[in-house]
Structure 1
Amino acid sequence: MSTSSLKDVCTKPVSTQTVRRHLKKHGMKAIVKRKHPLLLKCHIRAQLDFALAHQDWTLEDWKRVIWSDETKINCLGSDGRKWVWKKTGEGLTSRLVEGTMKYGGGSLMLWGCFGWEGPGYAMKIEGKMDANLYVSILEDALQDSLEYWGQTPNDIVFQQDNNPKHASKKAKTWFKEHGFEFMEWPAQSPDLNPIKHLWGILKCKLASHKEPPASIDELWKRVEAEWEKISAKECRDLIESMPRRVAAVVKAKGGYTKY
């Protein structure tokens, strides 16, 4: 509820500033709401069922999981607002300006995976993702990743979300023919998925460049270079968080968690 809304329900006339002052006095502070997929009752139930089914998994169990996902990467970083501290009286300088490019500068879609051994091969998604393209990614990037790690489908449990392309008949047939075991994943559950945090690590590395990429090709070169710099330790830290993530979902009874 906003301070203006609180002011409207007060029994006596008060200013918005007075409401804010009293909220701060009682330890409250304003924050930007986190964006999170909307959880309906069916999602909450599915998350809780998943967490209960995996609450006894040990780290050794989680080490077998290969996590996969797609993400969008912009030439000019996040689509969201950016904040910066401004000194009193400071004029408009380049430090205070977020440069824009005509038509937004463009973006690319990336598929990637990671496991206990570190990041696997990443692939730029060319064109519209459909079942055929997804299977070609599995045949190339996923298979190459397993070979690089010295693993076979029998060594791992493959994780993917419930995107219709992932659950297509063609993809299911491919997994079955190649002997993959894959994890039944609850919809709308980024709190449980550590690869979401790996995307954050990658995007922070990309944001550290002083100048934006001049083209999509240059952006892709940066993505490849920064992806290769992600260490096995960074991946292992995320995987080691899985027992805590699962416990948090159980505690929240399938609802939102700090993750």
Structure 2
Amino acid sequence: MKRLKWAKQKVKWINEWENIIWSDESKFEVFGGDGKRYVWRTPQEKYNPKCLIPTFKSGQESVMIWGCFVKNKLGPLVKLEGKITANVYVKEILEKHLLPFINNLEDKENYIFQEDNAPIHTANIAKKWKEDNNIASLPWPAQSPDLNPIENLWDELERKVRNHRPLPKNQDDLWKILQEEWFKS
């Protein structure tokens, strides 16, 4: 019901969507997929290193990122490490990355920041920081990642990473490829 109410309130929006700074976190895995990997090779190529898919013996390696965009402009891509608390979110993401991005936008006072209802986003310290920095927030219905267009951007980034050659072999490779593909977009 809350999602429907939210959608009905926004149904007449046209130009307003151009002033939304869409944001989210996402996790990218070094060896993602359904576990099935196919390699086509001739019998002579059986042990050729160029025709093998690397494997790993430890747990799944991944890189957690935060990013944002507005209309037709990509914002920063930030690698998240360790436990992200509300304090870390404010100091490391909002202050160091979001604020400079907003300050470089024309008519920066007219933008509205979108984020989901994750506890780090709704914590008092985060709310106060946004208020102190005059950052308007778009109210967001709970459990609604499908409404956020950044999810499409994450899907496209995932496809580009999976099509990148060579494939990433570790977290450092993955982070480099994520940055490369993000800024190509």
Structure 2 length-normalised TM: 0.86
Corresponding residue for 2:63?
108
Cross-structure match for 1:234: none
Residue 225 of structure 1 is matched in structure 2 by: 180
The structure 1 segments of at least 4 consecutive aligned residues displaced by more than 4 Å after TM superposition are 81-84
Structure 1 residue 177 and structure 2 residue 132: aligned?
A: yes
For residue 228 of structure 1, report the CA deviation from its aligned partner. 0.4
**Deviation (angstroms), 1:148:** 3.5
Deviations along 1:1-43, one digit per CA (max 9) or x if unpaired, are xxxxxxxxxxxxxxxxxxxxxxxxxxxxxxxxxxxxxxxxxxx
For 1:121 and 1:150, the matched residues in 2 are separated by: 17
Q: Does 1:195 align with 2:150?
A: yes
Q: Which has the larger radius of gyration?
A: 1
How far apart are 1:147 and its partner, in Å? 3.0
User: Secondary structure of 1:204's partner?
Assistant: helix
Aligned to 1:213: 168
| Equivalent position of 2:43 in the other structure | none
Residues 45-86 of structure 1, C-alpha deviation per residue, up to 9 Å, x if partnerless? Answer: 11101101101111x1100000000000111134x45586x9
CA contact (8 A) 2:117 2:140 kept: yes
Task: State how far apart, in whole Å, the 2-side matches of 1:223 and 1:116 are.
Answer: 21
DSSP 3-state at the match of 1:120: strand
Matched residue type, 1:182: S
- Structure 2 unaligned segments of length 5 or more: list them: 41-45
Q: Is the 8 A contact 2:66 2:78 kept in 1?
A: yes
SS of corresponding position for 2:122: coil
Q: Which has the higher strand share?
A: 2
CA RMSD of aligned residues (A): 2.6
Return the letter of the residue paired with 1:49: K
Gaps of 5+ in 1: 1-44, 87-92, 231-259
Q: Aligned pairs, how many?
A: 179
Q: 1: CA distance between counterparts of 2:162 and 2:112?
A: 32
* Structure 1 residue matching 2:104: 3-state secondary structure: helix
Q: Hey, what's the Cα distance between the residues in 1 that align with 2:8 and 2:57?
A: 49
| 2:100 counterpart residue number | 144
Aligned residue for 2:28? 73
1:63 corresponds in structure 2 to 18
- Is residue 20 of structure 2 the alignment partner of residue 54 of structure 1? no
How do 1:149-168 and structure 2 match up within 5 A? 149-152=105-108, 154-168=109-123
User: Per the alignment, do residues 151 and 107 of structure 1 end up closer, same or farther by CA in structure 2, a change over 3 Å counting?
Assistant: farther
**How many angstroms apart in 2 are the aligned matches of 1:66 and 1:212?**
31
Are the counterparts in 2 of residues 111 and 125 from structure 1 also a CA contact under 8 Å?
yes
Instruction: Tell me the secondary structure at the aligned position of residue 67 of structure 2.
Output: strand
Whether the 8 Å contact between 1:135 and 1:170 is mirrored in structure 2 is yes
For 1:57 and 1:77, locate their aligned partners in 2 and report how far apart those are by CA, in whole Å.
Answer: 37
Paired AA for residue 160 in structure 2: K
CA contact (8 A) 1:76 1:104 kept: no
Q: Normalising by structure 1, what TM-score?
A: 0.63
